[in-house]
Amino acid sequence: MNIDFLTIEDLDLAGKTVIVRVDINSPINPKTGELLEVNRIREASVTLKSLEDSKVVVASHQGRVGRYDYVSLRQHCKALSEIMGKEVKFVEDVFGEAARRAITSLEKGDVLMLENLRFAAEENYEYSPEEAAKTHIVSRLAKYLDACVLDAFPTAHRAHPSIVGFAAILPTCAGRLVAKELKSLSRVMLTAKAPYTAVLGGAKIQDRLEAIDALIENGKADNVLLTGLIGLVFLRAANKLKTPLKPEHEKFVGRARELLNRYSEAFYLPEDVAIQKNGERVEIKPEQLTSDAAVLDIGEETIRKYSKIIKSSGTVFMSGPPGFFEMDGFEKGTHELLLAMASSLGTTIISGGHLSAALEMVGVKEWIDHVSTAGGALVMFMAGKKLPLIEALRMAAARQRGEKIIQ
Ligand code: 3PG
């Protein structure tokens, strides 16, 4: 796999005004709206620190419209200031006059963070690069910018204006994180071989269903081991749950049933699950679940079966933790499956901030071939899909080198 892209060293960015699209979308406390974790902010600071001779404009999204995590980036800005050990200015605006004024008053070495990009409606839709370049976000800001650095690998699968629009019209290169991720993935993919196993949990059901289809269709998953919420949707589709799920999850059961029927050989569903009863972990069969019981982990039988498949796979890709590993007594599924991955002789890839954090807790990070805080984007990459951010980098590199652009 050969991905062509420019790096920061390939562009002359000294004294220039540079927009850096990072992904500091972080966990938020649903009750207080407080920022819970700064891992992605710390990671983003690596590229920002290496642009100290430029005027830097930091741009990111946070959460999704209508959800509890759809909050301002003001707290992120404060955290970034602390991590960088210097003032990072904040402007409560995305592309309006206030944002443009703040950009034009930047001095060399200054860092300015824009407000949550998704507060601007356009950033919630997908566009072709040409259309994205015409959006208000891109067309209004680009006049004041000299270059773009794309460092948001976790958002690489979204063709949003900030991912594909600036790159279509400004000199554009990969930031440190994206460059590291692409280099490591290219290396890892060289050793990847069948049988391929995908261990999928996580809560973004729509994205997961799309990814499962692409993974199996493109021969990138011979086995799909399901856990978490997506596991419950498939258990329901297989008629193993008596009571309906919440309406926002139940609506995906039809699609899950279609996939189960089409690829019945590939799927493995939890054979037992863990719930909490009187403060204790209790394991039951899915058929025994009642609507008031929350599933907090996979059970022992499932752990044993999944571990065996993981250990005998040529390549294992795991995204989304199998259980609420932060809760005492419910870390078992996550820990055991991560240990099985660590002892597998196959190529191993871990995806998503949550699972990366769990991996640190188990202490076997160095046994895994590739670890990324990216979730959905990495799943799509593994499924062999073209990612808009990678395509944007590829086209910007070809343009810079004066080559003919092949879409
Ligand atoms: C992520 O955390 O996976 C990325 O920030 C993308 O977020 P999204 O799924 O809301 O686009």
Alpha carbon of 100 to those of 114, 135, 172: distances in Å? 10, 15, 20
Q: Residue 171 has which token pair?
A: 């000199």
Q: What is the pLDDT of residue 405?
A: 60
Q: Cβ atoms within 10 A of the Cβ of 121, count?
A: 11
Q: From CA 91, how far away is CA 99, in angstroms rounded?
A: 6
* Ligand 1 center–CA 407 separation, angstroms: 25
* Best residue for ligand 1 mutational test, from 158, 181, 210 (most atoms within 8 Å of Cβ): 158
User: Does position 294 have pLDDT exceeding 60, yes or no?
Assistant: yes
| Relative orientation angle of helices 353-362 and 332-342, to the nearest 10 degrees | 80
Which of 28, 155, 378 is the pocket-test mutation for ligand 1 (most atoms within 8 Å of CB)? 155
Ligand 1: centre distance to CA 167 (Å): 20
- Identify the residue whose C-alpha is closest to ligand 1 atom 7: 155
Which residues neighbour 216 within 8 Å (Cβ) at sequence distance 6 or greater? Answer: 224, 259, 263, 266
Residue 55 and residue 106 in contact, taking contact as beta carbons nearer than 8 Å: yes
- Per-residue pLDDT, averaged over 94-102, amounts to 98
Predicted confidence at residue 268, as pLDDT, reads: 98
What was the pLDDT predicted at 407? 57
The mean pLDDT of the chain is 95
Using alpha carbons only, how large is the chain's radius of gyration in Å? 22
Ligand 1 mean position, distance from CA 154 (Å):
6
pLDDT digits (tens, 9 = 90+) for 42-63: 999 999 999 999 999 999 999 9
Does this chain's domain 8-178+386-400 share its CATH topology with 194-345?
yes
- Rounded Cα gap, residues 108 and 202, in angstroms: 42
Burial of 189 (0-12, 13-18, 19+ CB in 10 A): middle
Question: Is the confidence at residue 358, as pLDDT, over 80?
Answer: yes
What is the pLDDT confidence band of residue 292, given thresholds at 50, 70 and 90? confident
DSSP assignment string, 282-335: EEE-GGG--TTPPP-EE-HHHHHHHHHHHHT-SEEEEES-SS-TTSTT--HHHH
Please give the average per-residue pLDDT across 338-359, as a whole number: 94
**Which DSSP symbol is given to 134?**
H
Strand partners, 372: 351
Ligand 1 centroid – CA 191 distance (Å): 28
Residues touching ligand 1 (Cβ under 6 Å) are 23, 25, 64, 154-155, 158, 204, 375-376
Task: Average the pLDDT over 4-17 and give the result.
Answer: 96
Kindly state the tokens that stand for 110: 């200054």
pLDDT of residue 399: 94
CA of 108 to the centre of ligand 1 (A): 31
Q: Using the mean position of ligand 1's atoms as its centre, give its distance from the Cα of residue 152 in Å.
A: 10
Residue 1 confidence class, pLDDT cut points 50, 70, 90: low
CB-based contact 274:295 (threshold 8 Å): yes
**Which residue out of 61, 71, 150 has the highest number of ligand 1 atoms within 8 Å of its CB and is therefore the one to mutate?**
61
Locate the domains of the chain by residue range: 8-178+386-400, 194-345
**Cα(208) to centroid of ligand 1, in Å?**
12
Taking the centre of ligand 1 as the mean of its atom positions, its distance from the CA of residue 165, in whole angstroms, is 18
Number of H helices, E strands in the chain: 16, 15
Determine the length of the chain.
407
Closest-lying ligand 1 atom to the alpha carbon of residue 377: 3
Q: For residue 140, count CB atoms less than 10 angstroms from its CB and return exposed for 0-12, middle for 13-18, buried for 19 or more.
A: middle
**Sign of the alpha-carbon dihedral angle for 360, 364, 365, 366:** positive
| pLDDT one-digit tens code per residue, 26-45 | 999 999 999 999 999 999 99
Ligand 1 center from residue 402 Cα (angstroms): 33
Cis before 195? omega within 30 = yes
Which atom from ligand 1 is nearest to the alpha carbon of 23?
5
> What is the C-alpha to C-alpha distance for residues 227 and 250, in angstroms, rounded to an integer?
16
What tens digit of pLDDT does each residue of 372-405 get? 989 999 999 999 999 999 999 999 999 998 876 6
Q: Quote the tokens at residue 84.
A: 């960088």
Q: Give the pLDDT confidence of 209-268 residue by residue, as tens digits.
A: 999 999 999 999 999 999 999 999 999 999 999 889 999 999 999 999 999 999 999 999
> Predicted confidence band at 115 (pLDDT cuts at 50, 70, 90)?
very high
Burial of residue 52, with CB atoms counted within 10 A of its CB: 0-12 exposed, 13-18 middle, 19 or more buried: middle
Q: In the predicted model, what is the mean pLDDT of residues 264-275? A: 97
Contact 21, 147 (CB under 8 A): no
Architecture of the domain spanning 194-345: 3-Layer(aba) Sandwich (3.40)
Provide the residue type at 226 as one letter.
L
Distance 329 CA to ligand 1 centre (A): 29
Residue whose CA lies nearest to ligand 1 atom number 6 = 155
Distance 376 CA to ligand 1 centre (A): 7
Secondary structure (3-state) at 136 = helix
- Please report the atom of ligand 1 found closest to the CA of residue 374: 3
For residue 61, give the ligand 1 atom closest to its CA: 5
pLDDT in tens, 320-346: 999 999 999 999 999 999 999 999 999
Identify the residue whose C-alpha is closest to ligand 1 atom 9. Answer: 376
List the CATH code of the domain at 8-178+386-400. 3.40.50.1260
Query: Is residue 30 reached through a cis peptide bond, with omega within 30 degrees of 0 on the bond before it?
Result: no
Per residue in 64-90, pLDDT tens? 999 999 999 999 999 999 999 999 999
pLDDT confidence of residue 388: 98
For 333-338, the CB contacts below 8 A with 24+ separation are 333/227, 333/274, 333/297, 333/298, 333/299, 333/302, 333/303, 334/297, 334/358, 335/361, 335/362, 336/303, 336/307, 337/199, 337/227, 337/303, 337/306, 337/307, 337/310, 338/362, 338/364
Amino acid identity, residue 354?
A: H
Coil/strand/helix, residue 19: strand
152 Cα nearest atom in ligand 1: 5
